Amino acid sequence: MADLPSLRRVLDEWGEAGQVARFWWRDDDATARTPALERLLAIAADYDVPLCLAVIPATAELELNICLGAAMPQLTLAQHGFAHVNHAPDGEKKSEYPAHRDPADVAAELRHGRARLQGLCGVGPALFVPPWNRIDPAFAPALRAAGFAALSRFTDREGGFKGFVMLDTHIDPVAWRDGGGLVAEEVWLGMLHTALEKRAGGRVAPDKPIGLLSHHLVHDEALWNFIEDFVRIVTDHPAGEWIDAGEYVTMREVL
């Protein structure tokens, strides 16, 4: 098994400063019980790490119900948009929920998606993950009306979604712009440093979790190794801690 000495050094420094870095793990684009999904769940189970699985409602298959209950107890279900379809105009960044969409259509879609996941898995998710990490703030009322209490995107963002529990991701190891594969070390390490510096500097609450983002369907062996090494090192390090997304949302929703 490989190692990530740079991650160990960061956690060593964080621990020497008397801090504990809190992490959470989100994986996107689940629709079916595949070998890749089984491998993802096995890593989470082997290290006893909570996992948040973002499921696409429109294409989710019945067998996904194995992901809740028997698969592992520390699994949180999130709704990943509705069909993961781009509705953004040409020339704009991809989004399933750009500003020009009809709020009534979006509201109906959100309710339908949540009801479908509840029917498949027996749980109505409280956490919403917009595809491509984008949703216009105009749809905040529709999210609330559909039963969502929390929102997860990329990097620390809050504008336009007052009253929602914000649980974002920060470390995406996929080299999307280069056609896939693992990003260079300085890229993911820079993402980690940025998130930690915001917490150390008071721009973000120091106990707010840092999100590791994975996409099991596109992982090559280098990405799988990275994910497992990251999970293992944080689990074993005294300055690292994993947070359960479902518990985090429930606790913050009450506050």
- With respect to residue 14, please indicate whether it lies within any of the assigned structural domains: no
Q: What is the pLDDT along the chain (255 residues), one digit of tens a residue?
A: 457 999 999 999 999 999 999 999 999 999 998 999 999 999 999 999 999 999 999 999 877 775 555 555 688 999 999 999 999 999 999 999 999 999 999 999 999 999 999 888 777 899 999 999 999 999 999 999 999 999 999 998 777 899 999 999 999 999 999 999 999 999 999 999 999 999 999 999 989 999 999 999 999 999 999 999 999 999 999 999 999 999 999 988 755
Answer whether residue 153 is part of any domain.
yes
- 4 assigned to some structural domain: no
Domain annotation covers residue 163: yes
| pLDDT number for residue 93 | 95
Q: What is the CATH number of the domain that holds 244?
A: 3.20.20.370
- Taking CA atoms, 54 is separated from 70, 153, 199, in Å, by 18, 11, 26
**Does residue 5 lie within any of the structural domains?**
no
C-beta of residue 64 within 8 angstroms of C-beta of residue 54 = no
In a domain, 197, yes or no: yes
Q: Taking a C-beta distance cutoff of 8 angstroms, is the pair 235, 50 a contact? A: no
Report how many domains make up the chain.
Answer: 1
For position 61, what pLDDT does the model report? 87
Does residue 149 fall inside a structural domain?
yes
Q: Quote the pLDDT of residue 1.
A: 46
Domain of residue 185 covers 20-254
Q: Is residue 131 part of a domain?
A: yes
